[in-house]
Amino acid sequence: MLTFVPENASYANELLQMKLFLTNHHIQKGWIWLKRFRHRKGYGVHSPFAFDFITRVIYGKLSKTESKALRKSSKSRLESYKIMGLLHRLESEASPFIYINNSDPIYINKVYETKIAEMGPQGMMVIYGIYLNDEMKHCWQQLKSDKRSGITFDLYDIGIILFDKKITKQDYIVNF
């Protein structure tokens, strides 16, 4: 509970603004989760490959030893435990695995253009923060529509691009 103290008025005001921001942020995240609710756990996905990828990799579980090690390492990192577990599972699935945690679309496009030649059928690129701002949304749309990319998975916070050309190109929304 916030109490108003005259000599700490600016500090109390900052705390109140932070509390309102966090409350609005949680409401916004909850609303987004509800809008994407029908895209959870592979519902509505008819491709056997995509359904297997969603249920086994995206919603997969870690072993107890992996989970303990990840919890210890994720305390000092910015990413949450949930995202760290997902990245661990994704990294074990792909041979060239690229993770980009940068909100600069120019940097992302530069990495994409330089690394696209290395990407074989087992290649995977993961981009964090695809809906942070309008530039990142536009960048994600460009990467999805690029002819060199394959199947894409939109997890709201994370975008996953697979480069296997044997599988029909499709864009999936997953409520993660």
pLDDT of residue 94: 85
Q: From CA 134, how far away is CA 66, in angstroms rounded?
A: 36
The three-class DSSP label of residue 124 is strand
Cα distance between residue 150 and residue 29, in whole Å: 28
Distance between CA 94 and CA 130 in Å, rounded? 20
In the predicted model, residues of the chain with pLDDT beneath 70 are 1-44, 73-79
Which pLDDT value is given to residue 25? Answer: 57
Give me the pLDDT at residue 1, please. Answer: 42
| Amino acid code (one letter) for 86 | L
Cβ–Cβ < 8 Å for 127, 103: no
Please give the sequence-ordered ranges of beta strands (E in DSSP) within the chain, or none if there are none.
97-100, 124-128, 152-154, 158-162, 171-173
